[in-house]
């Protein structure tokens, strides 16, 4: 069932592996969305996953596509986002690791990812993962050549309940090593909002399992932040606009 070359994996009718909105934005912020899309290459069918499960958090970061566009408009920033589902390949994971193409996610089996051989895995990497990261690298390089500063903003969302445990946070600010000062200032800024529960490296902590920020921000010495917003807060356009307003203000203050 799996296609064996990149060209076979993405047919002429399949969409490109990433989207770039407001490419000429002059803001210092570069917005990225590793899990913004839910598309599956036509050659892979539905991966054996039900339509309902393909709309769950296991398939995409709910709300990030709209949130990224709203932020891009407010800030005049480019938004570069993945189009394909994280079930096909997770672009925030090392592509050589098994969890980049999971066989189970939050209790749901992914039959189309079982028994993938090296050739099938390479086809997904070459068609989806590599072009996405090449695009991020190219944008950063071009901005640097143009003398334009870049702060890398990685947008994600999280489910309010995981494994039966409620997560109380409205938003989480993730950081690790490198130029983490921007993330820490943004954390401080968001905590000034009365009524917001702001997590510091929760519900996830940035570590060696992350791929995008360590690959692009750390070696280029870029200020960065990874932002996790509750999915039920950005599940519609009005919520996305509200959170874009809140986050843009905190980002500007953190500068």
Q: Helices 64-75 and 237-254 sit at what angle, rounded to 10 degrees?
A: 50
Q: What's the pTM value of the predicted model, to 2 decimals?
A: 0.95
> Taking the domain 16-36+58-89+131-254, which CATH number applies?
3.40.630.40
- Determine the Cα–Cα distance for residues 223 and 150; give it in Å rounded to an integer: 7
Half-sphere exposure of 68 (CA within 13 A, CB side): 33
> Could you give the maximum distance between any two Cα atoms of the chain, in Å?
53
DSSP 19-31: EEESTT--SSEEE
**Residue 39 confidence (pLDDT):** 97
Q: What percentage of the chain exceeds 70 in pLDDT?
A: 97
Summarize pLDDT for 98-131 with one digit per residue, the tens.
999 999 998 899 999 999 999 999 999 999 999 9
Q: Which of 1-15, 128-142, 180-194, 224-238 has the lowest mean pLDDT?
A: 1-15
Helices 181-190 and 237-254, packing angle to 10 deg: 120
**86 — pLDDT class (breaks 50, 70, 90):** very high
Mean pLDDT of the chain: 95
Half-sphere exposure of 245 (CA within 13 A, CB side): 6
pLDDT score, position 7: 56
3-state secondary structure of 146: coil
pLDDT in tens, 16-75: 999 999 999 999 999 999 999 999 999 999 999 999 999 999 999 999 999 999 999 999
């Amino acid at each position: 069932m799996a296609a064996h070359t990149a060209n076979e994996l993405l047919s002429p009718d399949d969409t490109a592996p990433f989207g770039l909105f407001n490419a000429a934005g002059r803001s210092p912020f570069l917005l990225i969305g590793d899990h913004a899309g839910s598309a599956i290459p036509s050659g892979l069918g539905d991966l054996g996953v039900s339509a309902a499960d393909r709309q769950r958090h296991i398939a995409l970061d709910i709300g990030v596509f709209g949130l990224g566009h709203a932020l891009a408009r407010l800030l005049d920033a480019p938004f570069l986002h993945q189009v394909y589902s994280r079930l096909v390949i997770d672009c925030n994971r090392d592509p050589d690791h098994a969890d980049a193409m999971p066989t189970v996610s939050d209790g749901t089996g992914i039959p189309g990812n079982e028994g993938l051989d090296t050739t099938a895995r390479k086809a997904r990497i070459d068609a989806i993962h590599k072009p996405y990261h090449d695009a991020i690298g190219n944008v950063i390089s071009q901005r640097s050549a143009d003398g334009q500063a870049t702060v890398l903003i990685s947008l994600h969302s999280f489910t309010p309940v995981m494994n039966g445990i409620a997560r109380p946070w409205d938003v989480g600010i993730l950081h690790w090593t490198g130029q983490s000062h921007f993330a820490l200032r943004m954390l401080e800024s968001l905590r000034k909002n009365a009524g917001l529960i702001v997590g510091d490296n929760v519900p996830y902590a940035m570590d060696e399992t992350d791929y995008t920020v360590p690959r692009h921000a750390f070696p280029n010495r870029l200020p960065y932040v990874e932002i996790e917003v509750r999915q039920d807060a950005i599940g519609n356009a009005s919520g996305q606009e509200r959170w874009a307003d809140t986050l843009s203000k905190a980002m500007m203050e953190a500068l």
